[in-house]
Structure 1
Amino acid sequence: MTVVDGARPVQECNASDICGADELLALTSHCRPVIIRGHCYDWPVVREAAQGVYAVIAYLAQFDGGQTAEYFSAPAALEGRYHYGEELSGFNFSREAMKVRDALSRIAANALGQSETGYMGSLSIDAHFPGFAAENSSPALGVHIQPRLWVGNRSTVACHYDSYDNLACVVAGRRRFTLYPPDAIGDLYIGPIDHTLSGQPVSMAAGFAENAAAYPRFAQAKAKAVIVDLNAGDALYLPKLWWHQVEALDPFNILVNYWWDGFSAGRDSPYAALLLSMIAIAERPAPERAAWRAYFDHYVFRPGGHPLAHLPEEKHGVLGPLEQGNYGRIRTLVMRMLRGG
């Protein structure tokens, strides 16, 4: 197994080690990936998948909510390597809306050797397969965290990141995750943020060994990579902002995942703050950007602790705990500034 940061291997544990929300919360605070072997091995869907493609398709079909979903497909010659087309002008795959039941049948047929590969991704289980979660649920997550389902043929999903913590549960086929820590971003040659394959920007270098000359810094990112292979029944806790390329290795594969943010103070996201910083700071002179970096470190990232630690807590004002009404006070100030008030 490749190591992260050249030193520490990814942590691995058994299902019995993560049996509740407290154990999972402890993982999220460390912001490092963890393999959980056998986490969903007892799920009925895993048992059905072990019987073959049509057994698990029939199992899923009994929960079909009659909804329509987006179906992605590509010629079989591409081996499910979904990415941009030539010159970033388009994509090398097609999308179409179809009934979930029809898409499942098409994916099952592809698994037997058809002329395409296909998949459906990020399907809300409550909407598309009502009742599925009651029989197949993670004991480490509350019912308020809604699962999503990914089903398809052999594929490679381009290296990207998510803004939420992720528990990815493999229920059919094998999955390979190639992970890069957040600080590898500068060496991954990230594509556009407003012209994406499916929402998130992707690495233009990861997974393309033939383009090594065009992306010389990628060797530094590759040195930090960790490769994780999961079998049906295994799960991976993947912290937010970790880059990951996901390969479905078998002709038919299913993944169930959960996204959540256990540290959110409200509806405002760090990504929104990042975008606002782009227009407020990114094109200012370098010396001024360096000055603002010092202020961000002091007030936001806080490597030296709380910025007002030298004052009594009752004098911290809006820099006191967010849960004591300061979230709303700061948000009011920001919204007033954005409105020009």
Structure 2
Amino acid sequence: MTRPVSCEEWTVSSPGKIPPDVFNRHTPLVLRGLVSHWPAVQKTQGSIAQSAAYLLQYYQGTPLGLFFGPPEIRGRFFYNSDFTGFNFEKVAAQLDIILKKIDDVAQQAAPPAIFVGGTQLESCLPGFTDDNAPLALPKPNPLNGLWIGNQTRVAPHNDLPSNIACCVAGRRRFTLFPPEQLENLYVGPLDFTLSGQAISLVDINEPNIEKFPRYAEAQKKAIVAELSPGDAIFVPTLWWHQVEALSTFNILVNYWWRESPDYVDSPLKALKYALMTVGQLNTEEKRHWQHIFHHYLFADKATSSAHIPAHARGSLDKIDALLMRELRASLLEGLKR
């Protein structure tokens, strides 16, 4: 079995300060001690009950989305055996009840899997970010998420935004793969997903190379990082990553942001629409459209538009918010069938 490469890491000189060079990177990076100054880190290193008391001082009672799986799944949230559903339940529960359940099962040799994922801090724990200063990122007001649970595993997936994930309590292991490993990760459905993102169908902790032979190539490119409380990791856009919570109680806070303007839609929408249109053509037509897409999207911009007067280029030029609204309205009108 190929041994993963350890992720590059820096120790920050001043907690809370992200070195500016981080945002020019295209590979993951561990930032040791980045949020070690947060009260949330300092006050959640005792018992689960003590950690719960810290979180609950901010909690206003909003039910949270909870993934709950039986002990047999060993913390790995996934599909059921025939891909008609999942191996866990999705329910809504109060945070105090969730935290008590995690505490109650902490000493069990084979506990159920308990996981709250991606809940926005502002809606779940108002006031948390006032006491635990958010990080200075390339774009103001990034999306943030709160992740709480016991020993659980989120399968390899990728995110459109870039991401800084901060380990508050417990330990986390990230296993990461470059975006170009898509073909070797045997990614599942785009529409029928566990929580929005398509995931790798390979159990990378116990890979079945006979069933997924190309994963052997992805395994050679794997990068692994382990975070302790106060550490963070920068995950660039579209890097595949599995996240494992290794302790009986874990808290992680993350921030997502995109370099593109807020009015730019997700390319995943374009991919799905292309599957509905170009994907239904015969092989020869697809080949022609492959050339057209390359010409207009991936080749030098001047190749497709320099010969057109600037005022007449429309969507072939830089698209501002006004033109984006016009193009979106035109597309929506065309979809009314």
Q: Scaled by the length of structure 2, what TM-score is found?
A: 0.88
Q: Which residue of 2 aligns with 1:65?
A: 60
When residues 332 and 92 of structure 1 are mapped into structure 2, their CA distance, relative to the original with a 3 A threshold, is closer
CA positional deviation for 1:84: 1.6
CA positional deviation for 1:312: 8.0
| Distance (Å, rounded) in 1 between the aligned partners of 2:268 and 2:23 | 18
Q: Counterparts in 2 of 1:307-322, with a 5 A limit?
A: 307-308=303-304, 310-311=306-307, 314=310, 317-318=313-314, 319-322=316-319
Matched, 1:286 2:286: no
| Distance (Å, rounded) in 2 between the aligned partners of 1:18 and 1:298 | 46
When residues 145 and 74 of structure 1 are mapped into structure 2, their CA distance, relative to the original with a 3 A threshold, is same
CA positional deviation for 1:200: 1.6
Q: Which residue of 2 aligns with 1:268?
A: 265
When residues 338 and 89 of structure 1 are mapped into structure 2, their CA distance, relative to the original with a 3 A threshold, is closer
| Distance (Å, rounded) in 2 between the aligned partners of 1:69 and 1:139 | 24
SS of structure 1 residue aligned to 2:303: coil
When residues 311 and 222 of structure 1 are mapped into structure 2, their CA distance, relative to the original with a 3 A threshold, is same
CA positional deviation for 1:330: 3.7
SS of structure 2 residue aligned to 1:73: strand
The share of aligned pairs that are identical, in percent, is: 33
In structure 2, the gaps of 5 or more residues are none
Which among 244, 248, 265 is matched to residue 247 of structure 1?
Answer: 244
What is the count of residue pairs matched by the alignment? 332
When residues 206 and 256 of structure 1 are mapped into structure 2, their CA distance, relative to the original with a 3 A threshold, is same
When residues 41 and 21 of structure 1 are mapped into structure 2, their CA distance, relative to the original with a 3 A threshold, is closer
Matched, 1:110 2:105: yes
Q: Which has the larger displacement, 291-300 or 38-47?
A: 291-300
Matched, 1:42 2:37: yes
Give CA-to-partner distance per residue, 1:128-170, whole Å, 9 cap, x none.
Answer: 1110111113332366224221111011111112222211111
Which among 134, 137, 144 is matched to residue 138 of structure 1?
Answer: 134
Contact 1:110–1:117 under 8 Å retained in 2: no
Matched, 1:99 2:94: yes
Contact 2:305–2:317 under 8 Å retained in 1: no
Which among 234, 257, 278 is matched to residue 254 of structure 2?
Answer: 257
SS of structure 2 residue aligned to 1:120: strand
Q: Which has the larger displacement, 74-83 or 244-253?
A: 74-83
Which among 170, 186, 205 is matched to residue 173 of structure 1?
Answer: 170
Matched, 1:123 2:123: no
Q: Which residue of 2 aligns with 1:198?
A: 195
Give CA-to-partner distance per residue, 1:208-253, whole Å, 9 cap, x none.
Answer: 5352211111111111211111111111111222111111111111
| Distance (Å, rounded) in 2 between the aligned partners of 1:34 and 1:168 | 11
Q: Which has the larger displacement, 55-64 or 305-314?
A: 305-314
Contact 2:31–2:231 under 8 Å retained in 1: yes
CA positional deviation for 1:326: 3.9
CA positional deviation for 1:334: 3.3
Q: Which residue of 2 aligns with 1:55?
A: 50
When residues 127 and 217 of structure 1 are mapped into structure 2, their CA distance, relative to the original with a 3 A threshold, is same
| Distance (Å, rounded) in 1 between the aligned partners of 2:174 and 2:147 | 15
Q: Which residue of 1 aligns with 2:208?
A: 211
AA partner of residue 32 (structure 1) = T
When residues 312 and 37 of structure 1 are mapped into structure 2, their CA distance, relative to the original with a 3 A threshold, is farther
Q: Which has the larger displacement, 168-177 or 158-167?
A: 158-167
CA positional deviation for 1:38: 1.2
AA partner of residue 224 (structure 1) = K
Contact 1:320–1:326 under 8 Å retained in 2: no
Contact 1:110–1:153 under 8 Å retained in 2: no
Contact 2:165–2:252 under 8 Å retained in 1: yes
AA partner of residue 146 (structure 2) = L
| Distance (Å, rounded) in 2 between the aligned partners of 1:158 and 1:53 | 25
Q: Which residue of 2 aligns with 1:6?
A: none
In structure 1, the gaps of 5 or more residues are 4-8
Which among 76, 79, 97 is matched to residue 81 of structure 1?
Answer: 76
AA partner of residue 41 (structure 2) = V
AA partner of residue 283 (structure 1) = Q
SS of structure 1 residue aligned to 2:153: strand
Q: Scaled by the length of structure 1, what TM-score is found?
A: 0.87
| Distance (Å, rounded) in 1 between the aligned partners of 2:15 and 2:57 | 30
CA positional deviation for 1:41: 0.8
When residues 307 and 330 of structure 1 are mapped into structure 2, their CA distance, relative to the original with a 3 A threshold, is farther
Q: Which residue of 2 aligns with 1:156?
A: 153
